[in-house]
Structure 1
Amino acid sequence: MDTTRRERRQGQAVVRGKLVPDSTHDQRLLDRQGPADWVHMDPWRVLRIQAEFVEGFGQLAELPPAVTVFGSARTPADSPEYAMGRALGRAIAEAGYAVITGGGPGVMESANRGATEVDGAVSVGLGIELPFEQRMNDYVDLGIEFRYFFVRKTMFVKYSCGFIALPGGFGTLDELFEALTLVQTHKVTSFPVVLMGSEFWGGLLDWIKGTLLGTGKIAEQDLDLIKITDDVDEAVRIIVDSDRARSGQREEELEAVASQDAEPQ
């Protein structure tokens, strides 16, 4: 073994030989004229990711019960889908829930807009940094911009009672199947996923039934994870009923724990 190789401790790590950098993190941090590459390295990204989680949790911690609405950013303001999103946002707010969207235009804007039409409602936008410009829509009361999709997804799930998806593209499908996977694998419980627009979603549902279920890739009960409707009131009712059932279950669990604690030892 070559005992002449350079060695340096870096936190919990030990590096030797060619892996020893020419400068330390402190040097690169304090040298204003030095290279900026260090801000793009994985250890620094971890801190940036942590900061995004802390910021998201801090901003959303006192948010009332909320419902997330997904849908295309490309939906025109004069389209039936935009009108549906606006009516949905208003109905969610009237039911006492905050409305969360991705904060962009199209369907996201329509749901945020509907929420602002209800006194006292909270309209939230969780944006994402993209290679192309997409500003936060004007109907957001609380807007947070994220660098990382997975941090943003955590906020959607953690602070929502359920998802409602209107017609959308790859982003909507990504969020839809992420939610379904979390429910299917019991990572989240009592989390309804509602699809609005039977004509748009019907082909996908047929494929899920015929191909996924037909070839044994999912179980029969997995189909129950998806609800589809064209009615705004029904979509909101599905969310509300699920939320009440979950609240009732929690109360029963708390009562059971309290009764056990009250029993003499």
Structure 2
Amino acid sequence: MGIPEGMAKPEEQRLGPVLRRRDQVQSGTTDQRLLDTEGDSEWVHTDPWRVMRIQSEFVEGFGALAELPSAISVFGSARTQPDSPEYEAGVRIGRALVEAGFAVITGGGPGAMEAANKGAREAKGVSVGLGIELPFEQGLNQHVDIGVNFRYFFVRKTMFVKYAQGFVVLPGGLGTLDELFEALTLVQTRKVTRFPIVLFGTEYWKGLVDWLRDSVVAGGKASERDLLLFHVTDDVEEAVALVTKETGK
């Protein structure tokens, strides 16, 4: 598995701390090579060395973020257009979070992530981007002040939760849903406590919320109280008030 079908080979590629451009761009990602079960048995002898690389990613992430002030992670689609209402909402949310005393953490990419980083930067707050190595990597957006690029999704996701006191989730795709449901699971199982999760955009999230209530909860796969693990709003001030109240800030 390399570059997705129909997608041009990128001009720039980040492999953890390594930058490759033009003819030096490689096919595939570190995560793909870790999870690939095909190939010869030489992987048995090299996998232990991957543990060291994984360990180094945790060390680098912890070192970069250990002195971060109270922060909120903001998620959303990389495909959100700069001239859209969703992008403007992201800017306003980033700005409002800084004004409430938080640093802002995003995935560091374009779209909604860039919007939140932009708002945080404009408000003269701490703007953090946690990037990931992907075949179609676009690099960290220009509004990131502290940036860390990761090879492995699971290391990056640990940083999102460890160094944030809550999530604000803008409309997004599969990556956003992955991050949302991981956070919900951690709160539901009490792996983290006092961790508010706010979904921004009632119309966008309505179908998901209805499905959770009418199928998941109604079918006995979750409890009614699990619907209280998150809040849905269209109001920036309310979103910030919810994370502020629940974090005790």
Deviation at 1:41, TM superposition (A): 2.0
Structure 1 spans left out of the alignment, 5+ residues: 1-36, 248-265
Residue 229 (structure 2) aligns with: 225
Q: Does 1:68 align with 2:73?
A: yes
Which residue is equivalent to 1:212?
Answer: 216
**Paired amino acid for 2:99:** E
Task: Provide the rounded CA distance (Å) in 1 between the counterparts of 2:118 and 2:95.
Answer: 8
Deviating 4+ runs (over 3 angstroms)? 37-40
Paired position in structure 2 for 1:46: 51
**3-state DSSP class of the match of 1:100?**
strand
Equivalent residue of 1:116, what SS?
A: helix
Identical amino acids, percent of aligned pairs: 66
Residue of structure 1 equivalent to 2:190: 186
SS state of the match for residue 114, structure 1? Answer: helix
Q: 2:147 aligned with 1:143, yes or no? A: yes
Q: Separation in 1 of the partners of 2:89 and 2:129?
A: 18
Higher Cα radius of gyration? 1
> Deviation string for 1:5-30 (max 9, x for gaps)?
xxxxxxxxxxxxxxxxxxxxxxxxxx
- Which amino acid in structure 2 is aligned with residue 168 of structure 1? G
Distance in 2 of aligned mates of 1:39 and 1:228: 47
Query: Aligned partners of 2:131, 2:229: CA distance in 1, in Å?
Result: 27
- Which whole-Å CA distance do the structure 1 matches of 2:183 and 2:206 have between them? 19
Q: Are 1:38 and 1:44, in contact at CA under 8 Å, matched by a contact in 2? A: no
Separation of aligned partners in 1, 2:154 and 2:116: 22
Cα distance in 2 for residues equivalent to 1:105 and 1:145? 14
- Which digits, 9 at most, give the CA deviation of each residue in 1:28-76, with x for residues without a partner? xxxxxxxxx7899210110000000000000000000000000000000
Q: TM-score, normalised by structure 1?
A: 0.77
Equivalences for residues 116-135 of structure 1 within 5 A: 116-119=121-124, 121-135=125-139
Supply the distance in 1 between the matched residues of 2:45 and 2:67 (Cα, whole angstroms). Answer: 32
Partner of 2:238: 234
Shift of 1:115: 0.4
Aligned residue-pair number: 208
Contact 1:67 1:100 in 2 (8 A): yes
Q: Which has the higher contact order (CA 8 A, sep 6+)?
A: 2
How far 1:170 moved relative to its partner? Answer: 0.1
Aligned partner of 2:97 in structure 1 is: 92
Q: Which residue of 2 aligns with 1:156?
A: 160
Q: Deviations 1:160-191 (Å, cap 9, x if unpaired)?
A: 01001000000000000000000000000111
Measure the CA separation in 1 of the matches of 2:45 and 2:238: 47
Q: Is the 8 A contact 1:39 1:45 kept in 2?
A: no
